[in-house]
Structure 1
Amino acid sequence: MSQTSLNLVAISIFLMTLSVLVGPFFNLSPAVPALATFTILGIATLDSFSLQGKGGTIFLDWIAGFSKEHRDRIVHHEAGHFLVAYLLGIPVTGYTLSAWEAWKQGQSGQGGVSFDDGELASQLELGKISAQMLDRYCTVWMAGIAAETLVFNNAEGGTDDKSKLIGVLTMLGFSESVYQQKMRFHALQAKTLLQENWSNYETLVSAMRQRTSVEDCHAELGVGSGKQEVISS
């Protein structure tokens, strides 16, 4: 069973336990929590066997979406990816800010920024990649965490970003001792790029909140953001 499905099971157990404790005080019929628990467990079962975790992810993301801070974190996180990719010359092809939006576009996970990474994939198929390209993508992957940290003083997202970075480094034969070093180095590079282009970052956050198209986001950024070079670690 996927972690998302396990989370749904945990929620159902919590609801049932809570109903037993507080139900008598509110004259709550036992049928109400039982029905809610049955529904959630049904979603978890369907999700595990038919939807490969997507249904549960959408449900949990929908619940989290009631929190303004959660929504703010997502848009600031994804704007970090978007702007740093733009600055480093990696084409952005789209973005989503929720699991539902991602599902409608045929993507997995809770949303994110999509890139034209055909050249990266081609190089990885050959088992090698130029140092410059590796540095650029590692910096983009760490940019969401860097953006969250700058705005909120910590980062709650970024697990998938770290997994991508570690996956590529593993394919290229890097040792585990290098992973944390690369993460810190490229997070610092992303942080520097964001700080140097902060007004553009804030503009992009506002545009993405309104679900502005990628093309119009580029237009909002304008020509003032010069493409940057990344220094190899």
Structure 2
Amino acid sequence: MDSIESCSRFDSLDEVPSDRVESLVEDEGYESLCEEDYSMCMQHEAGHFLVGYLLGVLPKGYEVPGTEALRQDEFAAGRVKFVGFEFLKEVSFKLSWISRLSMPCRFIFQRMLKTDIGQVSNRILNNFSCIILGGLVAAHLVFGYSKGHHSDIDKLERVFKWLGYRKSEAISQVKWAALNTLLISHRNSEARSRLAKAMATGRSVSLCIETIENAIHGKEI
């Protein structure tokens, strides 16, 4: 929960201090830092992919940055696309319009958005919440900490805002999703590890799914 909260108020605290970078370069530790970033990125995207698939949400594509891309930009990120989350485009569109309105009009428009709540079932919201946190949870399980998940948490907060959730409701939803995602990811750590290697080599979605199925065969999800 601390990591999730820090992502929601992203600032320069998450950046590596310049003097730290210089010392890493001098003692040849920068290369190992890049390798760890790359490994964390693979685990992150594998976490999204695995949790989504095990919850019955079909992945339809993914992108992962290479080591060179991460050397040039430490915030380079991958992504996994899922079938059934098309509502996210509508969320971004409507919230962008709200931000441009004056306060009286913004209030009226926000009340109109309440009618959209029925468009997202509890099941979809629960799955979405778990999948969004899948990357952060995977990083914590493997490395003991996480970074670079600010866009994920931003998407989650945007959906809560779109649905008109109060802060207490959003926190409750996040806690529930974090616990369930942790259980899923921990029970299937071997599948996630194999999946991360498959994604790193650019295997197709179908082969990635086959990797998961082979790893969980005969096991309780």
Same fold (TM over 0.5): yes
**CA distance in structure 2 between the aligned counterparts of 1:94 and 1:64, rounded to whole angstroms:** 29
Q: In the alignment, does 2:101 pair up with 1:112? A: no
Superimposed CA distance per residue, residues 185-225 of structure 1 (whole angstroms, 9 cap, x where no aligned partner): 21221110011112211111111121111111011122746
Q: In the alignment, does 2:187 pair up with 1:199? A: no
Percent identity over the alignment is 28
Q: 2:44 aligns to what?
A: 77
Tell me by how many angstroms 1:68 deviates.
0.3
Residue 145 of structure 1 contacts residue 187 of structure 1 at CA under 8 Å; is this kept in 2?
A: no
Q: 1:148 aligns to what?
A: 139
**CA distance in structure 1 between the aligned counterparts of 2:217 and 2:170, rounded to whole angstroms:** 30
Superimposed CA distance per residue, residues 138-169 of structure 1 (whole angstroms, 9 cap, x where no aligned partner): 00001111000000111112111111111101
**How many equivalent residue pairs?**
167
Report 1 or 2 for greater relative contact order, CA contacts < 8 Å, sequence distance ≥ 6: 2
Superimposed CA distance per residue, residues 83-110 of structure 1 (whole angstroms, 9 cap, x where no aligned partner): 00000111211111228999xxxxxx72
Superimposed CA distance per residue, residues 5-60 of structure 1 (whole angstroms, 9 cap, x where no aligned partner): xx9xxxxxx7xxx9xxxxxxxxxxxxxxxxxxxxxxxxxxxxxxxxxxxxxxxxxx
Closer, same or farther in 2 for the Cα pair 1:110/1:122, shift >3 Å? closer
Secondary structure of 2:57's counterpart equals coil
**CA distance in structure 2 between the aligned counterparts of 1:110 and 1:79, rounded to whole angstroms:** 13
**Larger gyration radius, structure 1 or structure 2:** 1
Tell me by how many angstroms 1:180 deviates.
3.3
Closer, same or farther in 2 for the Cα pair 1:167/1:121, shift >3 Å? closer
**CA distance in structure 1 between the aligned counterparts of 2:31 and 2:169, rounded to whole angstroms:** 34
CA RMSD of aligned residues (A): 3.6
Which of 165, 175, 178 lines up with 2:166 in the alignment?
175
**CA distance in structure 2 between the aligned counterparts of 1:176 and 1:64, rounded to whole angstroms:** 41
Amino acid at match of 1:155: S
Amino acid at match of 2:213: G
Which of 62, 66, 91 lines up with 2:58 in the alignment?
91
Residue 138 of structure 2 contacts residue 185 of structure 2 at CA under 8 Å; is this kept in 1?
A: yes
Structure 2 spans left out of the alignment, 5+ residues: 1-11, 13-17, 23-29, 70-75, 95-114
Amino acid at match of 1:127: D
Q: In the alignment, does 2:112 pair up with 1:127? A: no
**CA distance in structure 2 between the aligned counterparts of 1:70 and 1:123, rounded to whole angstroms:** 32
Q: 2:106 aligns to what?
A: none
Tell me by how many angstroms 1:80 deviates.
0.3
Closer, same or farther in 2 for the Cα pair 1:116/1:100, shift >3 Å? farther
Amino acid at match of 2:81: S
TM-score by length of 2: 0.63
Structure 1 spans left out of the alignment, 5+ residues: 1-6, 8-13, 19-62, 103-108
Secondary structure of 1:186's counterpart equals helix
